[in-house]
Structures are given as structure tokens and as C-alpha cells.
């Protein structure tokens, strides 16, 4: 959570886009009433309520107010998406834009990695050294945050290739996916590797069971993946030969500190946004010499700051997203398969990734809000098309 009031450029853009579409909705053919995202209403309301209640006894109430404003900004992204994406053409445009973003960020990552430099949109230039330079594109100065950011784009790209759906310019999609898989390997972030792998496995299991997968494309994507792994095998072996036990112990100790806070404040938490400022008070002798940082586990972070109900609200949000996307994966709506199947895989991947790491940067939080909004928009379109088809069939009879 930010330590002050921030106004990300994407939030400004979302606000302007929403205002434009509402002012000109007759001209652009968007006469539908405003949607509020009732599909996620319960977990989102619980998140907000637990956030507010966490401020009652916290010594860092100002930080909590900043964090609440930040949560509202994430909801604005969600709200904008569900009220701007109103047609199949909009969905196609968004998917194209996501794949283009994947290509652009991959190119930037390749360049930064070859130069051993991180350069950001704010003008920062940071030199990276070592056996495998870990950079972050323009998303972050952290390769882990970069990997989490591109995960949904990559998985929607993979779904576009393997799903039995009408996809235009499949060759361009294949290029984007190949580049995305390569940079995921180059992040050398094991949680991202695991998340993407689990997402693809979940995608294939669902797709095979429902007979929605093109076996030939699965073989081609698998071959590309194997080729990438072989090409980067020296670096992968080096990364996997690192002391995994020590890395796990670091995370376990961070989790122990978070659990200490949860035990002390199980209902209301220590206060939304307060974790980095209060954690020192909960260091026990068994972890007093450990690395002191924000817990690398979003579930425990939410529970520590907003109590167990707040942690459950986050789990509920992920679970609801996975169930909602899975419910729309069907042959009846083949055109939407790349999105529904890709978003289901994304929920599985993110659920794994956030167990081992925090979100780490603003773009990741905004991307999560964005994909939830995209999921709701697609569901609304599918339901509207089903109703129109049903009405047409009734009229014919």
C-alpha cells in the first residue's frame, strides 16, 4: 500500500475514459445503464468494510486512509472496464492490446537484460550485474513484479492458441506468446514460473475435459516451451541450484512475523497499510535475526492488516474470479474462449504467485482490477447474447 495519496496515470486515464463514454454514450452506441460489478459485490464490500474497521485501533490511521483511497482507485479501474467494454469488438480490441503490451514489454525486457540496466518511465537508471540480470521492463525495478504483471496477458495468449476458437492472425499471437514465455523464464522468479505452469496445466485440464482444445496447437506451444527451456537451461540450472532451503526459511520467518500480528489482532488486524510500520513490535526471538521486510504472502498480509475476515475476503475474491471464469468456458461461446479460459488460468496462476510473494507494485494491483472487470464484461456479453438468442427462438416459434 502507498505511504501517501498517489494518483497513477492509469487511474486518470480510466476516469477520463469513463467520463467520455458516459457523456457521449448515445453517439458511441453505449446506452446501457451503469454496471457496478454485482458479481464481486460481496467480497469487495467485505474488503472495504474490514479495511475501514481496521482503522479503529491502529496507530497508523493516516496510512489506513491512504490505503482506502488506493482501494477506491482500484475499484475505479474495475468500474471503468465493465462500463466501457460493451461488445465483441471491444473484447477483441482489448485482447489485441494486451498481446501488443506483452510484445512491447518483452522487447524492453530483452533490451534491459542485454544492457544490464533497468530504466523506468520516471527517469531512473539502475545497473544490474550478476549471472542473470533481473530487470523489470517499464513495469517495475523488480523482475518478479514484471513476471506477475505479464502473467494474465501471456495466459490469454496461450489460450488464444490452444483453444478451439476463431482467432485472427494466429501467427502474430504465436510470436507474442513465444516472446512472453521467454521473458517469463528470464525473470528467474520461481513463483512466476510455478504460477504460469500451474495456470497452463489448469487451462489444459479444463479444455481437454470440455473438448475445447486443439491438440496440434498444444503440441506446437509445448515444443516452443521446451525449446525456450533448453535455450536458457544454463541459467535455469544456476537459478534452481541456489539454496532453496535458505530462501524458503526467509519467507517462513516473514510469515511467522505476519502470523504473530494475526494472533494479536485476529478480528480487526493491525490497520490497513500499517504492516511495514508495526511489524517490528511482533518480532519474536525465533525470528529476531531474520530478514525484516513485508511478508511475501498476500493472504497473510491482508489478514495481518485487516484481520482474518479481511484475509478471507481476498480469498473469496480470487475464488469468485476463478468460478466465474470457469462457468463461462463453453463451446457455445467459442469466440470468448481465449478470454474465459485465459482468465481462469490467470486466477489459478495468481493464487499461487501471491502465496509466495507480495504484489510489489501499482501496475500489478491495477492489472488485477482490470482482469476482474474484463471477466465481468465478458460474462455480461455472453448473457446478453444468450438472452437475444432465446428471444429470437421464441419469436420464431
Q: Which residue has the cell 416459434?
A: 397
Using 70 as the pLDDT threshold, list the residues of the chain that sit under it.
1, 26-32, 131, 243, 359-360, 394-397
Size (the chain), residues: 397
* 71 in Cβ contact with 126 (< 8 Å): no
DSSP 283-343: --GGGTTS--SS-S-HHHHHHHHHHHHHHHHHHHHHHHHHHHHHHT-SGGGGGGHHHHHHH
DSSP 37-65: -GGGHHHHHHHHHHHHHTTSS-S-HHHHH
Quick one: pLDDT at residue 348?
97
At 87, list the grid cell.
461488445
**Alpha-carbon span 163 to 194, nearest angstrom:** 22
Helices then strands, each counted (H, E), the chain: 14, 2
At 176, list the grid cell.
507474442
* 340 in Cβ contact with 378 (< 8 Å): yes
Q: What are phi and psi of 119, to 5 degrees?
A: -130, 135
Q: What are phi and psi of 117, to 5 degrees?
A: -135, 140
- Maximum C-alpha span of the chain: 76
Beta strand ranges found along 121-245 (DSSP E): 125-127
Quick one: pLDDT at residue 126?
85
**Alpha-carbon span 376 to 324, nearest angstrom:** 8
At 31, list the grid cell.
446506452
What is the DSSP code (8-state) at residue 132?
S
Q: Provide the residue ranges of all domains of the chain, joining segments of one domain with +.
A: 89-242+329-367
Report the candidate in 130, 232, 142, 235 with the shortest Cα–Cα distance to residue 181. 232
pTM given for the model: 0.94
Which positions ≥6 away from 45 have C-beta within 8 Å?
none
At 9, list the grid cell.
496515470
* 50 in Cβ contact with 313 (< 8 Å): yes
Q: What are phi and psi of 85, to 5 degrees?
A: -85, 105
What is the DSSP code (8-state) at residue 119?
E
DSSP 99-125: HHHHHHHHHHHHHHHHHTEEE-TTS-E
The dihedral built from the CA positions of residue 98, 85, 386 and 34, taken in this order, carries a sign that is positive
**Alpha-carbon span 378 to 373, nearest angstrom:** 9
Phi/psi zone of residue 140: left (φ > 0), alpha (ψ -120 to 50 degrees), beta? beta
Torsion of CA 104, 229, 371, 29, to 10 degrees: 50
What is the DSSP code (8-state) at residue 118?
E
Amino acid at each position: 500500500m502507498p505511504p501517501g495519496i498517489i494518483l497513477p496515470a492509469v487511474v486518470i486515464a480510466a476516469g477520463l475514459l469513463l467520463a467520455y463514454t458516459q457523456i457521449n454514450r448515445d453517439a458511441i452506441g453505449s446506452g446501457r445503464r451503469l454496471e457496478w460489478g454485482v458479481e464481486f459485490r460481496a467480497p469487495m464490500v467485505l474488503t472495504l468494510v474490514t479495511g475501514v474497521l481496521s482503522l479503529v485501533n491502529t496507530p497508523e490511521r493516516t496510512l489506513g486512509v491512504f490505503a482506502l483511497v488506493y482501494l477506491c482507485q482500484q475499484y475505479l479501474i474495475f468500474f471503468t472496464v465493465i462500463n466501457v467494454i460493451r461488445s465483441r469488438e471491444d473484447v477483441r480490441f482489448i485482447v489485441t492490446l494486451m498481446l501488443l503490451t506483452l510484445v512491447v514489454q518483452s522487447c524492453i525486457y530483452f533490451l534491459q537484460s542485454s544492457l544490464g540496466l533497468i530504466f523506468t518511465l520516471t527517469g531512473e537508471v539502475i545497473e544490474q550485474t550478476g549471472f542473470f540480470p533481473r530487470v523489470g521492463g517499464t513495469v517495475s525495478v523488480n523482475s518478479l513484479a514484471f513476471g506477475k504483471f505479464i502473467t494474465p496477458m501471456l495466459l490469454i495468449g496461450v489460450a488464444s492458441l490452444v483453444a478451439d476458437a476463431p482467432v485472427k492472425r494466429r501467427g502474430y499471437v504465436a510470436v507474442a506468446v513465444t516472446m512472453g514465455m521467454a521473458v517469463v523464464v528470464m525473470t528467474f522468479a520461481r513463483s512466476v514460473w510455478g504460477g504460469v505452469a500451474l495456470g497452463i496445466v489448469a487451462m489444459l485440464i479444463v479444455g481437454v475435459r470440455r473438448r475445447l482444445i486443439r491438440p496440434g496447437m498444444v503440441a506446437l506451444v509445448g515444443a516452443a516451451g521446451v525449446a525456450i527451456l533448453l535455450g536458457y537451461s544454463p541459467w535455469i540450472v544456476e537459478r534452481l541450484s541456489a539454496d532453496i532451503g535458505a530462501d524458503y526459511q526467509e519467507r517462513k520467518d516473514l510469515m511467522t512475523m505476519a502470523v504473530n500480528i494475526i494472533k494479536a489482532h485476529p478480528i480487526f488486524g493491525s490497520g490497513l497499510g500499517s504492516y511495514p510500520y508495526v511489524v517490528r513490535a511482533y518480532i519474536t526471538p525465533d525470528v529476531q535475526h531474520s530478514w525484516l521486510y513485508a511478508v511475501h504472502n498476500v493472504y497473510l498480509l491482508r489478514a495481518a492488516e485487516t484481520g482474518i475476515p479481511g484475509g478471507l475476503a481476498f480469498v473469496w475474491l480470487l475464488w469468485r474470479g476463478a468460478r466465474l471464469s470457469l462457468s463461462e468456458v463453453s463451446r457455445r461461446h467459442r469466440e470468448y474462449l481465449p478470454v474465459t479460459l485465459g482468465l481462469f488460468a490467470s486466477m489459478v496462476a495468481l493464487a499461487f504467485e501471491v502465496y509466495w510473494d507480495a504484489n510489489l507494485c501499482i501496475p500489478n494491483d491495477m492489472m488485477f482490477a482490470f482482469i476482474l472487470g474484463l471477466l465481468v464484461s465478458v460474462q455480461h456479453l455472453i448473457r446478453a447474447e444468450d438472452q437475444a438468442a432465446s428471444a429470437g427462438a421464441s419469436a420464431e416459434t
